[in-house]
Amino acid sequence: MPMPMTGRAVSAAVLLVIGAGLALLAVLVHYEFMRIYGDVSGTAFEGLTWGLTAGPSGLALGLVAGVAVIGFMLSTRRWMRLTAVAIPVLMLIGMFAVTPSALGQKLEVQFESSPQCVIEGMDEPMASADRESQQAFDSISHIGSFSGGGVSGVGGCERRFVLSGDVDVLQHYRAALPAAGWKVVEDDGRRLRAQRDGLAFEVRPCPGGGVIWAGSDDDLANGILMGCDQH
């Protein structure tokens, strides 16, 4: 005949249920945090590490671990102790598992597959300059995912892109630009510039991606502060 549960065992069981609920809630909070603030250029492990150190996930882990430790100390049965150990471990595994999905959701919602410069309702001469820059961008095969923000105007259009994994940005454009009829006129290993039909295009690699610019071949990209530290 099974032994009846003591008050201590009941308390431990209640704590384990609370810990499991908190762990599930923590995974959901981590997902939302990464979906809004996560770095889409990072790996799932990097995202988890960042969430634990810079986001609410670390606080949640501490809370769940604390509840699990108390539950472990109050436990009178082996399965309870194993459950207490498993709860924070499974929580970390859950956070790791949902991180790629959260980053993918952010990438889908907040980024585009090609750079966009034209903005409805823009006055001249900025509207014409944006269309000219867009024409240049549209003629080139790009890599990465582009954010909606950036600098644009009569001095050209600048957009930043992010990449997942180790990709040689300049090598891609060294091949893509001539294939699209552009002539590379500058390539110092840090920035590449090409020209075609009165238009100019520049690209500069940045950590996790890069920055591209397009405008008139009379203009320079640094005229609108092209650079990694501006984004």
User: Tens of pLDDT along the chain (231 residues)?
Assistant: 454 557 777 888 888 999 999 999 999 999 999 888 887 777 788 888 888 888 888 889 999 999 999 888 888 788 889 999 999 999 999 999 999 888 888 877 777 777 887 666 566 766 777 788 888 888 888 888 887 666 766 777 888 888 877 788 999 999 999 999 999 998 988 889 999 988 889 999 988 888 888 888 776 655 445 566 654
Last residue of a domain, one of 85, 110, 135: 110
Q: Indicate whether 1 belongs to any domain.
A: no
| Total domains, the chain | 2
Please check whether residues 166 and 96 belong to one and the same domain.
no
Q: Is residue 154 part of a domain?
A: yes
Q: Are 124 and 226 contained in the same domain? A: yes
Please check whether residue 159 is in contact with residue 204, taking contact to mean a CB–CB distance below 8 angstroms. no
pTM of the model: 0.64
**Residue at 85 is within a domain:** yes
Residue 81 lies in a domain: yes
Cα-Cα-Cα-Cα torsion 55, 59, 61, 66, nearest 10 degrees, comes to 180
74 and 154 assigned to the same domain: no
Per the structure, the complete domain to which residue 27 belongs is given by: 7-110
Handedness of CA 99, 101, 105, 108 (dihedral sign): positive
**If we measure between CA atoms, which residue out of 178, 171, 158 comes closest to residue 116?**
158
